[in-house]
Amino acid sequence: MNLRQLEAFCQVVERGSFSMAAEDMGLSQPAVTFQIQALEKELGVTLLDRSARRVVLTESGSALYRHARQILRHAEEARREIDELNQLIRGTLLIGASTGPGEHVLPQILGHFKGEYPQIQVVLRILPTHEVIEQVLAYELEVGVVGAKENNPHLSFEPFVEDRLIVIVPPGHTWIEEEAVTMEDLLREPFILQQPGAGVRIMLENGLKEIGLGLSDLNVHMELGLQESIKTAVEAGFGVGIISRFAARQELSFGTLREVTIQNLPVFRDEFYLVRHRTRKLSRLTGAFLQFAKGEIAPMTE
């Protein structure tokens, strides 16, 4: 039994499949399968029930998982202490994030950080907010970046970066030349709305309530699933939309989309939070990344 086998075993358990575990570890699926089979052969038991669509633990597997997680945690703490004694930054930086920061904020920061420390491995795991929080709580992630806080005494939530929603139009739109665009103008214009359940839609609905309006007052031309779809539809001239400014940064810089201000429209601000376990000491690598991220975020929000 070795650490590599235990790591592969825990990854399969936590990801629920051999293929996803292999992707996280940077290995082929057969290599991960071989590690698990070798572990089962050595112990003389079946650790995982592979008959279902998602692999599940057997009774023996559950017993091993509890100890394997502790062993890997102690091994990581030992490596961290040795690295700190030798002033080294290496290993795998694993960050969890919900969709907003995971798609529009972290990739650029992680790319620049990887450029500073090419010897490290970077893994960004995009999950629903509650799953990121659960994995931080279970010590499966050191830190996560999410769009909502939970009241949990074991976790700390610190402001990471603030986003805001903006009204976007195509570059040839008449509003660009107007000195003042009113709410009445917005309500008349064909509007591209994001699908129910989307965070942007919820923020828009809550903001409209503040001024006595609802989504039904908008001239909804289409409802689309993703912010990327809304950008494409607006660029094509099918209407105007409201999306995250982070999501539109590239198009705004290239001039393929334009931002306009609507009089009396509430300011929609969205805070992303860094979540971490209160009792867990951050690795030198994760600590270095968070310090680096502070310098990267400032110009992104200008």
* CATH class in words for 162-270: alpha beta
Nearest Cα residue to 289 out of 164, 160, 163 = 160
Start-to-end Cα distance in the chain: 52
Encoded tokens for 158: 């610190």
Dihedral of the alpha carbons of 172, 177, 178, 179, in degrees to the nearest 10: 140
Q: Give 283's DSSP letter.
A: P
> Which bin fits 87, alpha (ψ -120 to 50), beta or left (φ > 0)?
left
For residue 86, what pLDDT is reported? 53
Q: How far apart are CA 147 and CA 105, in angstroms?
A: 12
Q: What is the rounded CA–CA span in Å between residue 111 and residue 296?
A: 11
The identity of residue 265, as a single letter, is: L
CATH 1.10.10.10 range(s) for the chain read 1-85
Residue 98: is its pLDDT beyond 70?
Answer: yes
> 1-85: what CATH class?
mainly alpha
pLDDT tens, 173-223?
999 988 889 999 999 999 999 888 777 888 888 889 989 999 999 999 999
Q: Are strands 92-97 and 121-126 parallel, antiparallel or unpaired?
A: parallel
Instruction: Supply 138's token pair.
Output: 């279970």
Judged by DSSP in three states, 27 sits in coil
pLDDT number for residue 87: 55
Q: What angle do CA 95, 294, 247 make, to 5 degrees?
A: 70
For residue 258, list its beta bridge partners.
169
Task: Assess contact for 90 and 120: CB atoms under 8 A.
Answer: yes
Distance between CA atoms of residues 109 and 113, nearest Å: 6
Residue 247: which pLDDT band, with cuts at 50, 70 and 90? confident
Q: 54-94 pLDDT, tens per residue?
A: 788 889 989 999 899 889 888 888 877 766 655 556 788 89
Q: Amino acid identity, residue 144?
A: G
* pLDDT value, residue 302: 56
pLDDT in tens, 144-180: 998 778 889 999 999 988 888 899 999 989 999 888 8
pLDDT of 242 > 80? The answer is yes
The predicted pLDDT at position 186 comes to 94
Tokens of 127: 């999950």
In the chain, the amino acid numbered 263 is: Q
- Which residues of the chain does CATH 3.40.190.10 include? 162-270
Predicted pLDDT of residue 180: 83
Q: What is the mean pLDDT of the chain?
A: 87
Mean pLDDT, to the nearest integer, of 244-256?
A: 89
The answer, yes or no, to whether residue 301 has pLDDT greater than 90, is no
